[in-house]
Amino acid sequence: MKVLVIGSGGREHTLVWKIAQSPAVKKIFCAPGNAGIAQQAECLPIQADDVKSLTAWAERDRIDLTVVGPEAPLTMGMVDAFEARGLRIFGPSQKAAEIEGSKAFAKDLMKKYGIPSGEFQIFRDFEAAVRYVQKKPVPLVVKADGLAAGKGVIICHTSEETLAALDLIMVKKAFGAAGRQVVIEEFLHGEEASFLAFTDGETILPLPSCQDHKPIFDNDQGPNTGGMGAYSPAPVVTEKVHLEVIEKVLVPTVQGMAEEGRKYRGVLYAGLMIQDGQAKVLEFNARMGDPETQPLLMRMKSDLVPVLEATIEGHLSNQKVAWEDRPAVCVVMASAGYPGSYEKGKVISGLGEAAKVPDAFVFHAGTALKDGKIVTSGGRVLGVTALGQGIRDAIGRAYEVAGKISWEGAYYRKDIGQKALKQGMKK
């Protein structure tokens, strides 16, 4: 079997790494890939959002299975384009991917089908939005409606911050077309968790719980990023919460999407806020998370490929997945200045030493090969991921590996996984 993975980040490197373990797979391609992916797959000089070129290439090269990593090509209709050519591809259709492509659509869907979430209002008019927030108590959350690489959500603790966020998104157009419309939402208190599940539009096959760390600095300070680290399992998702999320969030969402004529096939990701054992949805994503994919697939003992195929073919009810009991932790190493501007081309050292640590793997995100050396080429550069006998051991191992790697301006949070320890995962 020949497999094509679309994307170039840490999530895609993890997918390539896991798919390569399948005995059914003979060859993996990745478009466009990165320096780490190039060690396990043949990288193609085609951008992930070049739907036309990728469709033509996959048809010409007779690719048996394509897996879409990032959200942009999904919202652009890549799955529809491939399926129109009779090609098998994993991911939701363009209509289904709108659950991530438009926060306003997702909020309206949740309201219609009784899925627990925060109160909200949607605005296209700046002045109307200003009048609304002037009457509302803070804190509030202002969200650009469209895709903004995980950075279009602004938590506002004062009225001044709220007005500045509206100005940034709607007037200054910091996120381009994504900010033509905004969602203003109540601020939900509690602890965040990520809940992912495979679904073929009928059967739901949940993955273990996971927790991301969005803000750039320790103790969840500073602006949001694409994610600075993750661990699995997340103890805030108790067995009771797990069952309730399936019953009250995933099932009505999948059924609701089908009723709307948007049958959902792929990975459905619910970003949750949990307080006092009750979960509310912050947002939906139409694909696997980054960096959540790294610890999740590190813990997956089963072959991933049959699950992907069953999801596409509507046979997910036949699949069972075995998971590692051991927890996994991913620490993201980033370029200085991220999530703002940053320099590229910094030579990365220590990868060879890092590779010697057992039960750990360094997934590449923003890396490239230049003059025979691996250099930085993005904001989030590496996802150092490790298994441990307990969460404390996994944290220690991930940071041990991260400590072996360096480049000018390398930065990473020092508190990934600490919430798990506070929740009682003492081992």
User: Domain holding 27: CATH number?
Assistant: 3.40.50.20
CA dist 332 and 338 (Å) reads 12
CB 103 within 8 A of CB 183: yes
**Using one digit for the tens of pLDDT, what is the confidence trace for 226-268?**
899 999 999 999 999 999 999 999 999 999 999 999 999 999 9
**Could you tell me if 70 and 142 lie in one domain?**
no
**Could you tell me if 291 and 348 lie in one domain?**
no
Supply the pTM of this predicted model. 0.95
pLDDT value for 424? 65
**Using one digit for the tens of pLDDT, what is the confidence trace for 42-96?**
999 999 999 999 999 999 999 999 999 999 999 999 999 999 999 999 999 999 9
Pick from 271, 329, 328: which is nearest to 117 by CA? Answer: 271
**Could you tell me if 173 and 206 lie in one domain?**
no
**Could you tell me if 381 and 337 lie in one domain?**
yes
Quick one: DSSP state of residue 318? G
Final residue before a domain boundary, out of 318, 338, 365: 318
Structure tokens at 201: 């539009």
Asked if residue 380 is part of any domain, the answer here is: yes
Final residue before a domain boundary, out of 300, 318, 336: 318
CA dist 356 and 337 (Å) reads 30
| Angle value at C-alpha 73, between 288 and 317, nearest 5 degrees | 45
Number of domains the chain is built from: 4
| Parent domain of 35 | 2-91
Helices (H), 260-316: 293-299, 304-313
Cβ count within 10 A of residue 392? 17
pLDDT value for 281? 97
Backbone angles phi, psi at 222, to 5 degrees: 90, 180
Pick from 280, 285, 283, 106: which is nearest to 189 by CA? Answer: 280
Final residue before a domain boundary, out of 318, 352, 379: 318
Backbone angles phi, psi at 368, to 5 degrees: -145, 165
